[in-house]
Structure 1
């Protein structure tokens, strides 16, 4: 990771150098943002936080006792950091539990496959499901099948997920997991197996949420090497492939999840709020270090640096550790339960929300800044001046979202910004047993904190408006 190169200058000299940017920020604010950036690089608060979180609580499945205990710890941590208005906001949740999952090829070449159940999937009958597999190289091939074409069959999709810095390969294949079981069921299938949405070649499978509700069928993800094995197998024979599948997954009881909230109150405009955060829950396979222990730690550590400043920012900065981001819910509820609860309980306050963003893409270094289309050019220039020494570039594409948990708030008209992380290898471990603390690079994590703290100070210590102007009547 590029190292920050800077030279100490007297504040008066700094003010003179950046005076041309004062239309968006005063010189003092920019100098303070640079100081925050430099201070962040000298500490590792975020890594300490994610280490403690994952060590104390391990996996934090939404609605589980582990997730609830981690939320209580989170609130205690916020208070110890000196944050204001610390609270835990609970909401009801149906608890889904994984149980056991097994898939094996019965013929023509008998062997077991390494699989996991998809989140929200239903169980098979106690005796399992046995049937002929219809194997598709791409998801589109499955969608091209007429209704009834898969009656009594097991649908299998082998489509790969393409590796990309911004995660767009995962975005392209997400429907294979989210909608695939339902689409297969509509065509008569009795079960569904897909190649994991991963970009590696290790023999472990990736879980993840699928659609919940009427018309769903038991659904599994197999490891990438098992998908490749199946691809080779069908080239060796013209005989049909028969499989046996078993799962005991399902929703087991009503529970609760929660959002953990803390603030640094603004000194002049405390009702103007910038929202940041990550999601505290995780899947139950690894320890949720990258997804999203890293994000909750990065944003809390950045806010702690701001809380330690000699003066508060002009506006309030609120950190939210959202609950229940990962798991789907039975109808009529939807996914992103914590994010929806946050937005719906503050619907009347949205006009005072300045902006929102989330860190939920692992702990890779931030490489670009994305801002709303209405961002004043002088503010963008000031932000890039502060962030460029961290090897962060301008993303010319307007930011339209700030991460999954920001969606319900953005839908109510709040602008989003993005500190885009390098996710080239994020989907190597995403939603797997290998999502553990050892996969985090502490130096890259510290760069994240420096970028968040510096940018937040610029935005919070200003009166910049990121909303698009209302159309003329």
Structure 2
């Protein structure tokens, strides 16, 4: 190779491996963010959207008639709020239905128990002696066949925490417990609700059965009823009848509903804000996740009202069927797999309506300064910069696995699991002032991310299998 060509090749290689230019946010954008923050705190859009969804649609179980109405509602609401583009993308999944459920203690201490079927449970009536286990590990240690004809009861008590850390082990009981019980021979499964309240309102949620197992009726007890059953078991053997009328019924096609505010100079690049449109069917899905829909729609709407448009586009995704397995999030990530680098940052609001208290991103070192600048703009809202903490929201996880950089706006979830997946998840539990603080935080974050000069590290990656 000629010497000149060798030199050119060396220079190219050097440039190709050079450190990326530091990402920063220009001063005018930061000044505008301060004004946006104050305007957003006085704005009621997040509350109005949340009120509209919970009042006009109510509970939105994936695959139900209300699911279809929610999709139509979301399209109309995006247009009403002035989004430039509104479209849908199909998401097809098996449909699960709940019709009726009950449980009773039999014998000399006969009494009803407050229960709800776990999503994915089959219907059926089982009657048998209850065997209590303190936690999932105790059930796992039970001898094979020891539960033949009996009902397993996992009595794990979930602890409340601001960051919701107790939901990991609590949710594991719901997801893994039924299959473990079946492997030990159980004819039915009961669990203390994965929740932190003390009301007679059981918490539902999806469960899965391992391949090759015959599913059994599986339900959650309200926490006071789990206490009652445990006390009865201290007195001697207890028989329970569990009757569930529920199950899978074909397939259904719902939609991710997407609204976009078009960027002024880099419209092909997007800052993605997500929340899920579906809910469980016991309450009206206010904190899970109408609040997230209200927060993200309001944030983009407030940016749309700025004197000038953001440099990048702001895209809000109202995801379908998050509750039964992140199905809308997975579908979006698959459909847009080749566009990961165009998704500059992605974040999801799916942890209720408590105030945002911390912020971080998964950006690499060259974008750390921009993350810090966003954090500084959020600080007047009582939000701390939390380097090294956080992660992608549920529906953002599949995008992050494909190379999209996440952002994290941590909400105070101290009482989130009092309400989560229960009949108590209703609008009166939402604080309008806390919701406005969320809307302000998300608007400031999205505006500054869209205005940043440089990238946040998103790239096309093949997710691990």
How much does 1:109 deviate?
1.9
Partner in structure 1 of residue 391 of structure 2? 400
How much does 1:324 deviate?
0.6
Selected match of 1:153 from 150, 154, 166: 150
**After superposition, what is the alpha-carbon deviation per residue over 1:277-324, rounded to whole angstroms, capped at 9, x for unaligned?**
200000010000110000011000000011111211111111000011
TM-score by length of 2: 0.91
Which segment drifts farther, 414-423 or 62-71? 62-71
For residues 324 and 247 of structure 1, what CA distance do their matches in structure 2 show?
23
**After superposition, what is the alpha-carbon deviation per residue over 1:191-244, rounded to whole angstroms, capped at 9, x for unaligned?**
100001111111111101111564222100000000111122222x2x321111
For residues 345 and 173 of structure 2, what CA distance do their matches in structure 1 show?
32
For residues 386 and 110 of structure 2, what CA distance do their matches in structure 1 show?
51
- Does 1:453 pair with 2:450? no
Partner in structure 2 of residue 387 of structure 1? 378
- Does 1:413 pair with 2:412? no
- Does 1:463 pair with 2:462? no
Partner in structure 2 of residue 101 of structure 1? 101
Partner in structure 1 of residue 254 of structure 2? 257
Partner in structure 2 of residue 230 of structure 1? 229
Runs of 5+ consecutive residues of structure 2 not aligned to the other structure = 1-21
- Does 1:369 pair with 2:366? no
For residues 272 and 115 of structure 1, what CA distance do their matches in structure 2 show?
47
For residues 381 and 91 of structure 1, what CA distance do their matches in structure 2 show?
37
For residues 349 and 135 of structure 1, what CA distance do their matches in structure 2 show?
50
Partner in structure 1 of residue 17 of structure 2? none
Q: 4+ runs of 1 displaced by more than 3 Å? A: 468-471
Partner in structure 2 of residue 66 of structure 1? 66
Correspondences of 1:75-90 after superposition (within 5 Å): 75-90=75-90
Partner in structure 1 of residue 205 of structure 2? 208
TM-score by length of 1: 0.89
**After superposition, what is the alpha-carbon deviation per residue over 1:60-95, rounded to whole angstroms, capped at 9, x for unaligned?**
110111111111111111112221221122222222
Contact 2:53 2:290 in 1 (8 A): yes
Cα 1:384–1:189, aligned 2, differ >3 Å: closer, same or farther? same
Partner in structure 1 of residue 46 of structure 2? 46
Cα 1:369–1:398, aligned 2, differ >3 Å: closer, same or farther? same
Contact 2:339 2:460 in 1 (8 A): no
Contact 1:387 1:451 in 2 (8 A): yes
For residues 202 and 399 of structure 1, what CA distance do their matches in structure 2 show?
30
Correspondences of 1:421-460 after superposition (within 5 Å): 421-460=411-450
Selected match of 1:140 from 131, 137, 141: 137
Partner in structure 2 of residue 12 of structure 1? none
**After superposition, what is the alpha-carbon deviation per residue over 1:384-431, rounded to whole angstroms, capped at 9, x for unaligned?**
221111000011224432x11111111111111110000000010110
- Does 1:285 pair with 2:282? yes
Contact 1:399 1:416 in 2 (8 A): no
- SS of residue matched to 2:259: strand
**After superposition, what is the alpha-carbon deviation per residue over 1:321-356, rounded to whole angstroms, capped at 9, x for unaligned?**
0011112xxxxxxx2111111111111112211121
| Residue correspondences, number | 437
- SS of residue matched to 1:179: helix
For residues 116 and 299 of structure 2, what CA distance do their matches in structure 1 show?
36
Partner in structure 2 of residue 315 of structure 1? 312
Contact 1:400 1:415 in 2 (8 A): no
Runs of 5+ consecutive residues of structure 1 not aligned to the other structure = 1-21, 328-334
- SS of residue matched to 1:197: coil
How much does 1:470 deviate?
11
How much does 1:365 deviate?
0.2
Partner in structure 2 of residue 356 of structure 1? 346
Cα 1:55–1:468, aligned 2, differ >3 Å: closer, same or farther? closer
Which segment drifts farther, 366-375 or 437-446? 366-375
Contact 2:257 2:318 in 1 (8 A): yes
For residues 399 and 367 of structure 1, what CA distance do their matches in structure 2 show?
12
Partner in structure 1 of residue 5 of structure 2? none
Partner in structure 2 of residue 242 of structure 1? 239
Which segment drifts farther, 172-181 or 205-214? 205-214
Contact 1:147 1:187 in 2 (8 A): yes
Contact 1:370 1:395 in 2 (8 A): yes
Partner in structure 2 of residue 294 of structure 1? 291
Partner in structure 2 of residue 330 of structure 1? none
Which segment drifts farther, 277-286 or 139-148? 139-148
Contact 2:117 2:244 in 1 (8 A): yes
- Does 1:341 pair with 2:331? yes
RMSD over aligned Cα atoms: 1.8
For residues 468 and 91 of structure 1, what CA distance do their matches in structure 2 show?
25
Contact 1:373 1:399 in 2 (8 A): no
For residues 23 and 177 of structure 2, what CA distance do their matches in structure 1 show?
51
For residues 139 and 175 of structure 2, what CA distance do their matches in structure 1 show?
14
